[in-house]
Structure 1
């Protein structure tokens, strides 16, 4: 019997790739101030910067877009979208937004503010930025195993339950805006969160009257890990696992640019009538009318179909196996990475990969740039450039981990592309002692990694 897991789709349209030389890429990177975000996409061969909005939509999604109802108010596309989100989340109120960070901005503007705290397993960059922009603070309470890249555990994305309750008591329940669990844990290596952990975290929050939310960008990938790894879930269907996961939450935010295969879009799902009314009022000011929320009707249609397609177990089996395939090649070559591999990406452990580069010289960025120069691969640093802070004396307070994320867009690249990526990583690993660090010459006050300008040290 065949054991190869094939792509559960056929390719119907192709897009050419542009090849460059190593010398050309070195010049391109210098012109981009050594920040991969500033490289023109045409100059990238394999783009693993993000899996957000970069997926290939299906023929069914494209067909649905032709039926988009562009009525300003009450379009039938909205009601199809609303039904699809309710089927998954079971929540009463669905508010469309143009992407996940718009949902965060609306929600955190209303619930945040000076003196408030948001607790999480790990907040990603835009989530933390929107929290801090409101005047509140974001506190990560990742389980201890999640902080150890080389240690294998089934649910390294979990929140530390003891620390969660301790923090609520220390801060005072009235000062906790909410607890928000990210599934899968993007900043923590794409690691899943168990149903047991979500259920217990929800119970602790209810005990103290703290709102409990889910950042649901990759809910389907997380639930597939639950089906594979958590006792009692192997025989359950995906929709049963998904429904249970959301049943513990008071609400959720989602970027539909991830686990809905859409190029744009997101939503807020809520059960609280008063909070919903406040969010809709702010939505009208910032995004648009409540039944389109910054999206065209065609986008609402694409999301509705994508939320159905993401639940296909054949696809999810292929998706997770693709990540494992890269991990197996890297492990055989001794390359350090977060183990086990995540659901949407492989995360290289830059601290272990480049131990000779001090943290204040951003080893993650050095590794990311080396991958681009060597093979035209664009990735993203998730370390002290993205999450580092400054102490009172101006010295860097480094991030918990120094990672480089290679996020694989859904239904875009083939196995040969992935083989090439693994080969380039291994080649860079063999020459790792030649790499040097970077220093910042310009940075913005929030989300500095998007627009920062850097130069090589020395």
Structure 2
């Protein structure tokens, strides 16, 4: 008999330990918002009920990861933990040089410090915030080249994270001398957590080869991307996720990684590549900023936990649960008439704040308005991905972002279905009163990555 199919989303794990959540009132949360200058990054974590700000470093480590921590060797140089870590990385990403760092933005900082600079241009399907900031900090220009479907929130294209191949060809035809490398982000976080197909990666590889340009992956959600390839791309349905990951890696010359995402760590990352000279320059920069090349700003115990996490994240039972549980939230919001980006990504559901709060101009920050309302109404912390995050231009002016989204990023193996059901109810309450949402303005901001530390106030 065939295996029966059930509607229930079954978590492929049991809960081993718990941490308490402190319930708060709406009046208390209003006070916390004022204290935080209406910036959810500044709200204290103990004042949050369901924290969907990010899936970065916020997941629950497994029993075997905690056991691996006990094996950590803290030798300054040549720790056995480093070799266990690099072997685990190369099992999926067989690059010649693997350089550990404390998190993904450190890998970006090191790489772009070496290959960036004034007059350089770095194309990407869509840069995320720290990637863009690290490119631009060197004086280089970060250019996004998503496919047209990626800017259409209602398009059902299965790979809305793809790069626009014609646009990449055009850019390289005009400015190849200025392009040190081409980047592809998998999954495309700023574009709604949307996947990139193997066919598109092969197309990017072919263009890079014609112009002699290296291809790098920003691969922090590589396993989720591989699962979508398995589910949606012709000829991939029966394959092992780990083999699809190896195919993606084989198309690239290097990668940056925040291991706080799919590798299941609470901290960590790496920079990997095949180019010997580039690796030497990057290691020299690493020693200045992160630490010795065999620990790179991490403890040996962290390296061992990441090695174990890399074996767990490609397991099909886990990925099936992960993608289905994200879709559960997205489908429920959609059924309640709340505008969301679809198809749903792997790590998050993105509310279309511009459509939900139609009365607000993009420069009144509708994403910020919706995110603040979710926290005030139900203690849910989310993340604006829109004009606050991306509206400031390199010349200091401001323009609306292509989309104003609110990301509900789901930490790995952390929340139960009842938590998500509560999130659905809070979203429904906010949507019912969306016409009354007030816009926001920034009263103080830094020069870069302003969404992290800016101060806001409600508009009259």
TM-score with structure 1 length normalisation?
Answer: 0.98
Q: Distance in 1 between matches of 2:362 and 2:373?
A: 17
Q: How does 1:39-438 map to 2 (within 5 A)?
A: 39-171=43-175, 173-390=176-393, 396-438=398-440
Q: Which residue of 2 aligns with 1:6?
A: 10
TM-superposed CA distance for 1:153, in Å, is 1.2
Equivalent pair of 1:77/1:300 in contact (CA under 8 Å)? yes
TM-superposed CA distance for 1:390, in Å, is 4.6
Q: Distance in 1 between matches of 2:418 and 2:172?
A: 49
Secondary structure, aligned partner of 1:177: coil
Secondary structure, aligned partner of 2:181: strand
Residues 84-121 of structure 1 show CA distances to partners (whole Å, capped at 9, x for unaligned) of 00111111110000000000000000000000000000
Q: Give the one of 24, 27, 36 matched to 2:28.
A: 24
Q: Distance in 1 between matches of 2:108 and 2:198?
A: 23
Secondary structure, aligned partner of 2:325: helix
Q: Which residue of 2 aligns with 1:448?
A: 450
Equivalent pair of 1:33/1:454 in contact (CA under 8 Å)? yes
Equivalent pair of 1:35/1:454 in contact (CA under 8 Å)? yes
TM-superposed CA distance for 1:206, in Å, is 1.1
Give the gaps of 5 or more residues in structure 1.
Answer: none
TM-superposed CA distance for 1:158, in Å, is 0.3
Q: Distance in 2 between matches of 1:238 and 1:364?
A: 34
Residues 350-385 of structure 1 show CA distances to partners (whole Å, capped at 9, x for unaligned) of 110111011111000000000000000000000000
Give the gaps of 5 or more residues in structure 2.
Answer: none
TM-superposed CA distance for 1:389, in Å, is 2.1
Equivalent pair of 1:391/1:397 in contact (CA under 8 Å)? no
Q: Distance in 1 between matches of 2:113 and 2:177?
A: 17
TM-score with structure 2 length normalisation?
Answer: 0.98
Secondary structure, aligned partner of 1:389: coil
Secondary structure, aligned partner of 2:306: helix
Q: Give the superposed CA RMSD.
A: 1.0
Equivalent pair of 1:250/1:270 in contact (CA under 8 Å)? yes
TM-superposed CA distance for 1:302, in Å, is 0.4
Residues 274-301 of structure 1 show CA distances to partners (whole Å, capped at 9, x for unaligned) of 1011111111111111100000000000
Q: Distance in 1 between matches of 2:194 and 2:42?
A: 28
Q: Distance in 2 between matches of 1:132 and 1:450?
A: 17
Residues 253-274 of structure 1 show CA distances to partners (whole Å, capped at 9, x for unaligned) of 0000000110000001110011
Secondary structure, aligned partner of 1:397: coil
Residues 304-326 of structure 1 show CA distances to partners (whole Å, capped at 9, x for unaligned) of 00011000100000000011101
Secondary structure, aligned partner of 2:282: helix
Residues 390-415 of structure 1 show CA distances to partners (whole Å, capped at 9, x for unaligned) of 597x7631111100001000000000
Equivalent pair of 1:184/1:190 in contact (CA under 8 Å)? yes
